[in-house]
Amino acid sequence: MNKPKMATEKGVPSNSRVLMLLGQLERMNGEAMMRDVETARQVTAKIFHLIQTQEKSGKEVMSKGSSGMEVILASLENTRDVQTTLNILYILSELLTVGRGRRVGVFVSKGGTGILFQILISASKDLPPSEELMLQLHSLLAKVGPKDRKFGVKARLSGALNATVNLTKQNLQNTKLLLPCLQVLRVYSTNSVNAVSLGKNGVVELMFKIVAPYSKKNTTLLKVALDALGALLKSKTNARRAVDGGHVHVLLALYQDWHHNDSRHRHMLIRKGLLVCLRNITNIKLGRKAFIDTDGMRILYNSSTECLPVRTLDPLVNTSSLIMRKCFPKNRLPLPTIKSAFHYQLPHVPAAGPVAQLYSQPPGGRENRQLCNRPLKKVDDVVDESDDNEETDADTENDTENEEDDKDQGTANDDIETDLNKLHPKNNPGRPFEELRVYERFFLELSEDFQGYNFEPSKSASTTSSSFSSTRSTRPIIVPTAQALSPKHVPIMSCQEDCNLTKGEHTLQSPAVPTTAPPAPLTPLELDTILLTKDQDRKEEAHSPCTATHTALSSLSGPASPPQMIEQDLAHLLECVSLAAEDSLNKGEEAGRGVKQEGSPVNATRHIHSPLLLGGIATRRVGGGGGGGGGSNWGSDCGSEGAEDEGAVLEVPDTALLLPLHDPDLYVEMVKGTRSVPQYAEVAYPDYFGHIAPTFREPLQERVYGVQRSKIFQDIERLIHPNDIVDKVVYDLDIPSCPVIEDNGESLKFNSQFESGNLRKAVQIRKYEYDLVLNSDINSNHYHQWFYFEVSGMRVGTNYRFNIINSEKSNSQFNYGMQVLMYSVQEAISGRPRWVRTGTDICYYKNHFARSSIAAGGQKGKSYYTMTFSTSFSHKDDVCYFAYHYPYTYSTLKMHLSKLEALRTPQIYLRQDVLCQTLGGNSCPLLTITAMPESNSNDYICQFRNRPLIFLSARVHPGETNASWVMKGTLEFLMGTSPLAASLRDAYIFKIVPMLNPDGVVNGNHRCSLSGEDLNRQWQNPNPELHPTIYHTKSLLQYLAHIQRAPLVFCDYHGHSRKKNVFMYGCSVKETVWQSNISATSSDLHEDLGYRALPKILSQIAPAFSMTSCSFVVERSKESTARVVVWREIGVQRSYTMESTLCGCDQGKYKGLQIGTRELEEMGAQFCVALLRLKRLTGIRNHQHLLDLESDIIGTQTKVVSSPTTYVMEEDEPSFLEAIDYSAESNDEDGEPEKEHGGEVQENPNHLDQLSDCETNHRD
């Protein structure tokens, strides 16, 4: 039927004509329209002509206040004439084509959709139905549908679904009518109920009749049909129907056909539509199996490889990658059990929680016979047999795979505390004072009268003794050596039955040897059969025994060993330092090592015979055996010229001269008193030599386009080409007798058996690629993030790829410029002992290793994540160490505290106490630092005692090593000689617990203590046996609250893995209420704004500090953290968590740079300076300052926060909100539908800065 064409009436303005005609149409509504059909046709035709030819006419009809749309819809509803109906549909189509968004909204709000459905049902009853009418109706519905949220429901209730389906079936060859019908079906299918209903009516099979092999005809129709099919297949029922019908093979064949024939890539959308159908089918297990069975992996892999050179085909490559990764068979980790390789039996098991669950599993695993009275129960990692991959049900074309990042940020945060009673501090210590009186001994400064103390300047040190130091034994530490152990496994201390360790004492006593008697003489080591090659040109000559004192291998290993056995014992020189702990060797120290102090300190060197004999430390050969084929094989401290040959002496930088707080010899002594569950007998070189921060800048690494995709494809190749995979285990802590698996020198050698080390297993995948598995925290089955391990046996210039395959967080700063840290022993020997950022092709993405529901807090279908990086090595026969962040061990802390005490001046009051013993038998130090009074007169003593207290703590989470570096900066500043440091000591008394979790640090944990629990979630009710450091630290604070001396500031130093910069979390009633919907009176919101003063000062003076990232909202999930408990129970208004980035900064002076130890230590010093400024502000009662703070928080009540909680990775971090690409806490296990993305990272450095305060407070 032809559209009417009316002549234009002359002499009347167009807007007047439209209004006049609409008025006429309005008067005709009802019976008049039925009687005068011809007039109705003419009027509607004229209106259509005006709107079609004159833009003003359409605007007049749709203008605000106009009743034009109501008149048109009323006429449409009342007319029974087909031509009049068509005219009105033409009018609506013209109106809604221009300015669709608002106009369609008006149409929907006036009930237009329902009227169209009524006409559709009515017209479908005519036989045959009017083709033109059906065409216009469906064209209009296709425009309106996407804008009407109730469209699918209205269609189903009105019966329009069947009408459209029947029309489609009857017109499969009529492409003109088929296209709008398919467009409407596409919109219908977005409603899940409709999709199931349409599937039952055979629409899935109908779509497969329409989709066809490559053709240049009807491509638009084919694209719409594929879109509709893709929407239908989101329904699991329809996906199963498609699988049962054998359509997976059809889709793959169609994709191959279009891929090969579409050589000019003009029909990428059709190819993408086919992939979307496959993607939705493979959301169910049945679909994934069918995909694998029809060789889908190989088909998509090959086609994607061919698409890679064409950048515009990235959407195809990304979607293909996503499908292949989803269908990659889920594997379990290559471990006997996912619980830690190290076992520690708890004195008692908690009644509930993850640790109780761990112990309640069916028995299995192996016992640690030294520490366990009964075996730890086995918690195995199994693939969940769930039918569907729940994570991928909500995949969209955005293809982003960040679960927590895809949340609607506009939703309210249900984690915010809304109980006003809990928001107001209780100021109730909760324990009777009689119980707390025992802690008075830790506060001697509050009662010290200094009578009898000589205040003359010549006095060298304070008479206040160091409790911490006094507990250390000044007698020799004797370690029995008669056990049959290789040098690599010589324990630091004797076995448990020979070790008498009492609380407060660090003396190791052997029953066989009195501690006061000199050690028994050792048999000299015969090394005459071991050759030392200085270089490739030097001839190997027979060696005579060295005259230097040696570790007696014969006494360590039982009977005298043949020469080849000795060579095996020394097979890994310089991989790490093995502690023999023989004090008799100290007598020969000068013979085996000399220290030159010639020239500047930077050039100072330490002469060490090879192997290193440092008070019982023997090292092992670089590079393993036979891998290098020449070069230097350091196997003896005797050169070819005999013991006096200087060629056999290693010159290494004397870091004791370069670093004020570092002394290698002192470090070794400290290690001897450190107790670990695995009973480590080695020292890593970086901890021995020390770290001197590099002077050059280390910028955030720019991400190379396509790097993640290329890594994923290499992973997929493992399934496509299994014969190329080596799959050889080269290191395995689950083989305790021999974790380093020897080979022919073709593989790298790994080691992590030293303090804070973490690497459980290394598997060689290809010649230069290794999968690495991290150890979970002891008494836990997860928390894999911290790593610290050693590599040797490398080839120079070869690019190696390392994949850490069992990470758990759903995102990481490794996707945003962060690099791993590497320490080269050869570089250290050359005078550059330092950790440097390294690694290329770094990315972090979801892998095909499945997490058991036990390890995922009951959630099924979760996967681990891979952190991959590549690197090459510059030196032959090197030994290199890799770490997640700059290591800072417990023994390093003890060494630093000892050196700090030596630096004390008479003006400094310093006391070191042992707060308690940990579960593992290590001491938790407590420091008191302030200024000595100028005299013992009453005025000075009174001022001394009444100084406000500052309470600082750090390192409750072992993997957050940056917190210790910040604490080191704080301690060095406090012990410094600058006027600012002196003023600060005069102003405050500092009580500092520098390491709240020594056991976790020593044993290489990431988050927990030996109890398997996050200690920063135990502050509400700590157990004195399981959480001694938290229990006693809280008791100190409770004691102070009882004597009315609560600290002015409490700050717990932390590290942050998914945000940049340094920032603080605090506690505020007002800001918490503003972020929630609870009603509160003005009296409820009354609070001193002083809690903002310290972070405000820091933002002004510390270049790494970001005020915009700070938050002062109290959340329910954080109610048992130190910050909230100290605020709520102790009544400390300025109670903070200070978070330091593990990555770098995106603002200020350090913008674009990765953070280093220099910047972290600077942050610790700046914190001290800020406290000094805070003293001045609080002292003068600066009201203007408080007004400034008030203005800072105006407007925050309008901000909304989204921060769900989680079981598995219950972190102190907010959700990471930078854009992410991978097909893939800190809250990564929130159970949200996962969205997949194959594109590359599009980082927006300003994105996080735009967050509200409490949006960033997802983690503490």
Among 391, 567, 1129, 1139, which one carries the catalytic annotation? Answer: 1139
* Residues forming beta bridges with residue 929, ordered by sequence position: 910, 990
Query: Which of the 8 DSSP states describes residue 363?
Result: B
Closest CA to 854 of 1260, 255, 358: 358
Which residues are registered as beta bridge partners of 1051? 952, 1136
Other beta carbons within 10 angstroms of residue 386's beta carbon come to 11
> CA separation (Å) from 1109 to 29, 1052, 1105, 1106, 1118?
62, 17, 9, 6, 17
Q: How far is residue 729's CA from residue 770's CA, in Å, rounded to a whole number?
A: 9
Torsion, Cα of 1100, 1103, 1106, 1107 (10° steps): 0
Cα angle value 150/151/157 (rounded, 5°): 90
| Terminal Cα-to-Cα distance of the chain (whole angstroms) | 70
CB-CB contact of 527 with 547 (8 Å): no
Q: Cα(814)–Cα(102) distance, rounded to whole angstroms?
A: 43
Asked whether 507 and 515 are in contact (CB, 8 A), the reply is yes
Longest dimension (CA), the chain: 126
d(CA 327, CA 275): 13
For residues 91 and 456, give the distance between their C-alpha atoms in angstroms, rounded to a whole number.
Answer: 102
- C-alpha distances out from residue 398 to 318, 401, 410, 702, Å: 11, 9, 19, 23
Q: Any idea what the Cα angle at residue 1101 is, between residues 1099 and 1106, rounded to 5°?
A: 25
Give the pairing type, strands 820-824 and 879-883. Answer: antiparallel
Residues whose CB falls within 8 Å of the CB of residue 264, separated by 6 or more in sequence, listed in order? none
Q: Residue 1131 and residue 425: Cα distance in Å, rounded?
A: 6
E-assigned strand segments in 1007-1066: 1049-1056, 1062-1065
On the CB side of 1127, CA atoms within 13 Å amount to 28
Compute how many other C-beta atoms are within 10 angstroms of the C-beta atom of residue 125: 8
Between CA 873 and CA 878, with CA 876 as vertex, the angle to 5 degrees is 70
| Residue 622: closest CA among 682, 561, 671, 685 | 685
Helices (H), 333-461: 354-360, 420-423, 433-436
Helix (H, G, I), strand (E, B) or coil at 1078: coil
**In 3D, which of 307, 1113, 264 has the Cα closest to residue 709?**
307
Q: Residue 1202 burial (CB < 10 Å; 0-12/13-18/19+)? A: buried
**927 phi/psi in degrees, rounded to 5:** -110, 145
Residue 406 CB neighbours (<10 A): 18
Tell me the C-alpha to C-alpha distance, in Å, between residue 926 and each of 399, 416, 833, 916, 987.
51, 34, 30, 9, 20
Q: Is 1139 noted as a catalytic residue in this protein?
A: yes
Question: Strands 835-838 and 949-954, how do they pair?
Answer: unpaired
CB under 8 Å to 308, separation ≥6 — which residues? 317, 706
Phi, psi dihedral angles at 987 (to 5 degrees): -85, -30
Beta partners for residue 530, in sequence order: none
Active site residues: 1139
